[in-house]
A and B are shown apart, each in its own frame.
Chain A
C-alpha cells in the first residue's frame, strides 16, 4: 500500500517539548510543500498542453480565477460545488486511513441522493413539515450510502475481494438501480423532458446559510471533516484504525477487531457520500435523476489524495477544485474548449501528484535529525 496511513507521530522520540514541536512542523511542512509543488508542476504542464493547442494558458488561468473565485457570485458557485467534494473526498480519506483505496463514492452519492428523493415522495404527499422531512431524507440518504460502501468493506474483509475494483463496479450498479426506478416505477410522469422522481417542491428545499447564497451542505461538510479529523487522530478508535492500516497482522495480533474497523470506516465513508447525494437533491436538484452522477465522486478521489487523506486539509483542496469545476462553463464559452478540459487538468494533476510521492524523504530541510543525535 502507499503511505495512506499517516506515519506514527514522532512525538515520543524528541527529548523535549520544543523539539517535538519542531519535528511536527517540519513533517507537516513536507506534507504541504510536496503536494503544492505537484500542483504547480501540473499547472505548468497543462499550460504547455494548452499552448500546444494554440490556446493561451494565461487566459485559461485568469478565467479559472474569474469563474471560480473572482466575484462574489462565482465564489458562491464554487462553495456550492465544494460541499459535495468535501463529502466525497471524506469518503475516500476515511477508508484510506485503514489502508483501503475506495473509489466508489460516486455510486454511494447517486444512491443516497436517490433514496432521499424517493423517501421524500410519501412524506411530501403526506404533508409532513419540511424540517422532519429533510431530517428523515438525510438519515435515509446517508444510511443507504453507508450500507452500499459497507458492503465493499465487508467483501474486502470477509472474502478478500479487491475493494478498488468492487467499489467502482458498485458505482455502475448503483447508477443502474437509480435509472431503473427513475425511468420506471418512480418516474414523475408530469415531467416529459428528463426522467426524474417527483420534485420535493420549493417549500421542502433545504435553505441557504444566512447571509450567503450557499446551502447548508458546505457547513455540514466542514463540520464533519473536523469531527472526523478528531475521531481519527484523537481517539482510541482512530488509533486502532491507524494501527490496522499500518500493519493489519500486528493489529490482529494485538486483538484489534480489524474486520469491524474496516466495515465501520467504509460505512462512515458511504454515509458521507450518501449525504452528499442528499444535499444535491435537497439543495440543488430538488429531485433525483441522471444529473446526480455529475462526477463529484471521482473528483473527490483526487481531492482526498491531494489532501493526503487528512480530513481538515480536504476543506481547502475541495474549495480549490470546486472553483476549477465551477469555472468549467465559462472556460467552455470563452475559449471554445470542450467541457472535458477540466477532466484533463484533473487527470494530469492526479498523475503528477502520484509521481511526487517519490519525493518524500528526499529533502534534508524536512528531515528530523537522525536517530544518532538522540542517543
Chain B
C-alpha cells in the first residue's frame, strides 16, 4: 500500500467513524439513561429500525427531514413507553419484554416500510470538517451531520444532569436501590417509565440518522444489530454518557474499516470486516463483564449483569 492510499484509508476510517458512530451513540445514550434507572430495554434494536422507517416516511411525505427526525423520536418514545408500561406490571421480566419489543418494532417497521423502499425522500444536510485541508477527497470523507453534534451535546448534558441535578440524583437512586427511592417518596415505576420513554426517543432519533443520512435510504437490511451492539456498549462504557460517546466512536471506526479498505480497492476479507463490529462487541463483553470496575459502577437494580 502506498503512503497516499494509507492516508486515504486513515481519513476514511476517521470520517467513517464519525458517520457510523452516530446511531450507536444515540442508542447507547438512550440505553444508558434507561439502565441508570434500573431497567434494561433490549428492544432498542427494534426501536432503531422503526425510527429509521418513520423518519424516512415522514421526510418523504412532508419534505422536511428534520420533521422526520422528530417523528422518529416520537415513534421510539411510543415503543419505549410501551416497554416501560409493561415492565411495571408485577412478575414481568424486562429482558423478555425487550426481545418481544425487538420483534414487534422490526415487524411494524417492515410492515409500514414496504411502500417506502422505492421512493426517494429528502435527506439531512451535512457539513465538512475537512475544508481547511483544501483536499476535495478529505473534505468529502469528513462530511458530518449535525446530529453527531446533537448527540455529543446530549451526552454532556446527561453526564452533567446525573452528577448535578435533582432529577439526575432521582434516576441514579432509583437505579441503585428501589427501596430507598420508595422511602424517599419517589415513584420508582414512574421514573423508570419516563427513563425508558426518553431512552426510546433517543434510539428513534438514532434510527433517523440511518435512513436520512448514512447509509441514507430505507430498506429492510438497514440495521443489523447496531441497536443490540449499542446496548452491549453501555456495559463497556460503564454507564457513563461520556464514555458512551467514546465507545460509539470506537465502534464506528470498527464498522468503517471494511468500507474504507474497499474504497482503495481492497476487497479481501470483506465478510470478516463486516462481522468485525460484532466480534469486537463480543470480545469487549468478555473483557468487561465481571470486571471490578464494571461491578463498581453498575446500577444496583440492573438485571442484565446478574
Check A165 against B99 for contact (C-beta < 8 Å): no
**B95 / chain A contacts, CB cutoff of 8 Å:** 101, 164
Contacting residue for B99 out of A179, A339, A350, CB 8 A: A350
Q: Which of B134-142, B161-169, B240-248, B281-289 contacts A (4 or more CB under 8 A)?
A: B281-289
Q: Is A176 an interface residue (CB 8 A)?
A: yes
A60 at the interface (CB under 8 A from B): no
Q: How many residues of A contact B (CB 8 A)?
A: 46
A71-B279 Cα distance, complex, nearest whole Å: 46
A184 contact set on B, CB distance < 8 A: 271
CB–CB B104/A350 < 8 A: yes
* B155 at interface, CB cutoff 8 A: no
Tell whether, in the assembled complex, residue A351 and residue B104 are in contact, meaning their CB atoms are under 8 Å apart: yes
Asked whether A344 and B108 contact (CB < 8 A) given A166-B282, A169-B229, A350-B99, the answer is yes
Distance, CA A338 to CA B107, complexed state (A): 10
Identify which of B13-21, B85-93, B191-199, B202-210 touches chain A: B85-93
User: CB-CB < 8 A to B86: which residues of A?
Assistant: 351, 354-355
| Complex Cα spacing A357 to B100, Å | 13
The interface residues of chain A lying within 8 Å CB-to-CB of B105 are 347
User: Complex Cα distance A40/B149, Å?
Assistant: 47
Contact of A236 with B by CB under 8 A? no
User: Which of A155-163, A199-207, A276-284, A320-328 makes up part of the contact surface?
Assistant: A155-163
A351 x B114 contact (CB < 8 A): no
Which chain A residues border B286 with CB–CB below 8 Å? 155, 159, 161
User: Which residue from B93, B274, B278 sits with its C-beta under 8 Å from A357?
Assistant: B93
Q: Does B106 count as interface, using CB distance less than 8 angstroms? A: yes
> Is B5 located at the chain interface by the 8 A CB criterion?
no
Contact between B100 and A347, CB atoms less than 8 A apart? yes
On whether A340 and B285 interact (CB within 8 A), knowing A354-B93, A360-B91, the answer reads: no
User: Chain B nearest CB: distance from A302 CB in Å?
Assistant: 7
The 8 A CB mask of A170-185 against B (1 = contact, 0 = none) is: 1011001101100110
Which of A160, A165, A298, A358 interacts with B92 by CB under 8 Å? A358
How far is B278's CA from A176's CA once the two chains are assembled, in angstroms?
Answer: 10
**Within 8 Å of chain A (Cβ to Cβ): is B250?**
no
Contacts of A166 in B (CB 8 A): 282, 285
Residues in A whose Cβ lies below 8 Å from that of B225? 168-169, 172
* Contact flags A297-328 to B (C-beta < 8 A → 1, else 0): 01001100100000000000000000000000
Which residue of the partner chain, among A1, A162, A172, A347, contacts B106 with CB atoms under 8 Å? A347
Chain B nearest Cβ from A220, distance in angstroms: 27
Which A326-367 residues sit within 8 Å CB-CB of chain B? 338-341, 343-348, 350-351, 353-355, 357-358, 360
Asked whether any CB of chain A lies closer than 8 Å to the CB of B97, the reply is yes
A345 to B279, CA, bound (A): 32
Contact B228 A165 (CB under 8 A): yes
Give the interface centre of A176, A341, A345 by most chain B CB atoms within 10 Å: A176
Q: How far is the CB of A333 from chain B (nearest CB, A)?
A: 14
Query: For chain A, what secondary structure do more than half of its interface residues adopt (helix, strand, loop), or is it mixed?
Result: helix
- Which B residue's beta carbon lies closest to that of A183? B271
Question: Is the beta-carbon distance between A340 and B107 smaller than 8 angstroms?
Answer: yes
Complex formed: what's the CA distance from A169 to B233 in Å? 12
User: Which chain A residue shows the least CB distance to B232?
Assistant: A165
The yes or no answer to B180 lying at the interface (CB within 8 A) is no
Counting CB contacts under 8 A, is A198 at the interface? no
The answer to whether B104 and A344 touch across the interface, beta carbons within 8 angstroms, is yes
Interface residues of A in 123-169 (CB under 8 A from B): 155, 159-162, 164-166, 168-169
- Select which of A101, A165, A183 is within 8 A of B96 by beta carbon: A101
Residue A19 CB within 8 A of the other chain: no
B193 CB, nearest partner CB in chain A, Å:
15
Nearest residue (CB) in A for B46 is A347
* Inter-chain contacts of B120 with A (CB < 8 A): none
Bound form: Cα–Cα A172–B106 in Å? 16
With a cutoff of 8 Å between Cβ atoms, the chain B residues found around residue A170 in the complex are 282
Chain B residues with Cβ below 8 Å from A169 are 225, 228-229, 232, 278, 281-282, 285
Partner of A159, one of B42, B89, B224, B289: B289
Establish whether residues B278 and A173, one from each chain, have CB atoms under 8 Å apart when the complex forms. Answer: yes
A302 to B101, CA, bound (A): 12
Task: Select from chain B the residue with minimum beta-carbon distance to A348.
Answer: B104
Q: Is B74 in the interface zone, CB < 8 Å from A?
A: no
A103 lies within 8 A of chain B by Cβ:
yes
User: Once bound together, how far apart are the Cα atoms of A151 and B52, in whole Å?
Assistant: 33
Instruction: Flag whether B304 is at the interface (Cβ < 8 A).
Output: yes
* CB–CB B305/A160 < 8 A: yes
Does A16 interact with chain B (Cβ within 8 Å)?
Answer: no
Residue numbers in B under 8 Å from A357 (CB-CB): 89, 91-93
A354 contacts B96, C-beta separation under 8 Å: yes
Known: A1-B93, A169-B228. A162 touches B104 (CB 8 A): no
Which residues from chain A sit less than 8 Å from chain B, CB to CB?
1-3, 101, 103, 155, 159-162, 164-166, 168-170, 172-173, 176-177, 179-180, 183-184, 298, 301-302, 305, 338-341, 343-348, 350-351, 353-355, 357-358, 360
Besides the contacts A169-B282, A344-B108, what 4 more A-B pairs have beta carbons closer than 8 Å?
A161-B289, A172-B225, A347-B105, A348-B104
Chain B interface (Cβ < 8 Å from any Cβ of A): 42, 46, 82, 86, 89-93, 95-97, 99-101, 103-108, 110-111, 113-114, 224-225, 228-229, 231-232, 235, 271-272, 274-275, 278-279, 281-282, 285-286, 289-290, 303-305
Show 14 A/B contacts (Cβ-Cβ < 8 Å), sorted by A. Answer: A101-B95, A159-B290, A160-B289, A164-B42, A165-B228, A170-B282, A301-B103, A305-B96, A343-B111, A348-B104, A348-B107, A351-B82, A354-B92, A357-B91
